Each structure stands twice: as structure tokens, then as C-alpha cells.
Structure 1
Amino acid sequence: MTKNDLVTLIEKKRAELISVAITNGLTSSVAIRYSQELDHLLNEYHRVYIKKIPSSAC
């Protein structure tokens, strides 16, 4: 996966989270799941492109 692919996924997941949160609330199970998925993508971006920390630390 390229850096641009990962950034695109992050932007898409962020937009989905915002939409779900507006519709169902920030504490809905769907919003929480999307938030966790976004966190995972952001952690991956940070691991690969920012800090270069081992994936086992995430």
C-alpha cells in the first residue's frame, strides 16, 4: 500500500465517521467502530511514515 493509498483510506474513514456520528451520535456502536478503524489507520500511517516504530508496539 502506498502512502497516497493510506491517506485516501484515512480521509474516507474520517468522512464515514463524521456522517455516522451526525446520524447516530458519537457514542453509537457504529461510530465507535469507525473511530477504532480510523485510529488503526492513523496508527499505521504514523508507524510507517512518521516514527518507524515496530508494528508490535501498536
Structure 2
Amino acid sequence: MTNDDLIYQIEMVRNTMITVGMSKGLTSSETILLSKKLDRLLNLQFHRQKVRSA
């Protein structure tokens, strides 16, 4: 996955999570799963940037 792909994925999951959170609630299982997926993507991006700057 390229960096552009990763950024696109992050934005898509973030937007979906916001939409689901607004319609189903912030504590719905779907919102929580999307939040965890977003966390994994953000951690991947962080680690990639950390490796590039080292």
C-alpha cells in the first residue's frame, strides 16, 4: 500500500466512522470497530513516518 493509498484509507474510514457515530451512536459496536480500524491505520502511518525520518 502506497502512502497515498494509506491516507485515502484513513480519510474513508474516518468519514465512515463519523457518519456511523452520528446515526448509531458513539458507543455502537460498528462505530467502535471503525475506530479500532482507524487506530490501526493511523499507527501504520505513524510508524512509516518514523522509519522515514530515522
With the length of structure 2 as denominator, give the TM-score of the two structures. Answer: 0.90
Report which structure shows greater RCO (CA 8 Å, sep ≥6): 2
Structure 2 unaligned spans of 5+: none
**Stretches of 4+ moved more than 4 A in 1?**
none
Number of positions where the alignment pairs a residue of Structure 1 with one of Structure 2? 51
Residues 1-58 of structure 1 correspond to what in structure 2 (within 5 A)?
Answer: 1-49=1-49, 51-52=50-51
For 2:39 and 2:24, how far apart are their aligned partners in 1? 19
Bigger helix share: 2
* Aligned alpha-carbon RMSD (Å): 0.6
For 1:23 and 1:5, how far apart are their aligned partners in 2? 27
In the TM superposition, residue 44 of structure 1 has moved relative to its aligned partner by 0.3
Percent of aligned positions with the same letter in both sequences?
43
Question: What is the SS of the residue equivalent to 1:27?
Answer: coil
In the TM superposition, residue 4 of structure 1 has moved relative to its aligned partner by 0.4
1:55 counterpart residue number: none
